[in-house]
Amino acid sequence: FLGHQDTLYADTRGLATFARQYYRRCHIEGDVDFVFGRATAVFDRCELRALTRDVSFLPYGFVFAPSTAAANPHGYLATRCRVTGEAPDGSYGLARPWRPSSDPTAVPMLTVRETWIGPVADTTAPYVNMSSGYPWQEARFGEYRNSGPGAAIPVPENRPQLTPEQAAERTVRTHLGDWRPPR
């Protein structure tokens, strides 16, 4: 998937629909919120590539902008992926919570686990607010056993880490349930 802003809209037909999507060994690149929407979406062994931008502000953009419905127990899961890019070190955030039209039923969810995160990611503030009144800390963001220079944790309160018990609830199997995508 090649684009810039809003490259991949992983979404559902309606708020009450918890659509499941599975992306395996794919390449997704963009700059601003380049993976966004409210679906239950699994990104398995994908490369998420942040593009260089001709701007004078930071961050350049965000990889994810989930808008998961509060009633949905599963949002976005990035597992065994690679976050890469040629943009300057620390110039991208991992995610910001999207609440379309300040939707109070959205409580964005993203888990990034066992993923190599390159230096393009801001290690100090990988998550930020998208709009006032909805702090990222109220979103369901979590990380587990990530590696690479962008996975460093210089400010622990800005990098929510899952316990092994919590991580057991955020897997490909739990996100996809009884659906087995064809191989």
Q: What is the CATH number of the domain that holds 134?
A: 2.160.20.10
Which among 146, 98, 121, 125 is positioned nearest to 48, based on CA atoms? Answer: 121
Q: Is 181 contained in some domain?
A: no
- Band (12; pLDDT cuts 50, 70, 90): confident
103: pLDDT confidence band, cut at 50, 70 and 90? Answer: confident
Containing structural domain, residue 135: 8-176
- Model's pTM, two decimal places? 0.95
Sorted by sequence, the CB contacts under 8 Å of residue 12 that are 6+ apart come out as 18, 19, 37, 38, 39
Whose tokens are 């460093």? That residue is 152
Q: Structurally, how many domains does the chain consist of?
A: 1
* Within-domain flag for 183: no
pLDDT tens, position by position, 20-44: 999 999 999 999 999 999 999 999 9
Residues with a catalytic annotation lie at 6, 33
Please, what is the average pLDDT of the chain? 94
Asked whether residue 123 is assigned to any structural domain, the reply reads: yes
For 62, left (φ over 0), alpha (ψ -120 to 50), or beta?
beta
Give pLDDT tens digits for 114-128: 999 999 999 999 999
Within a domain: residue 25? yes
Q: Do 121 and 80 meet the contact criterion of CB atoms below 8 Å apart?
A: no
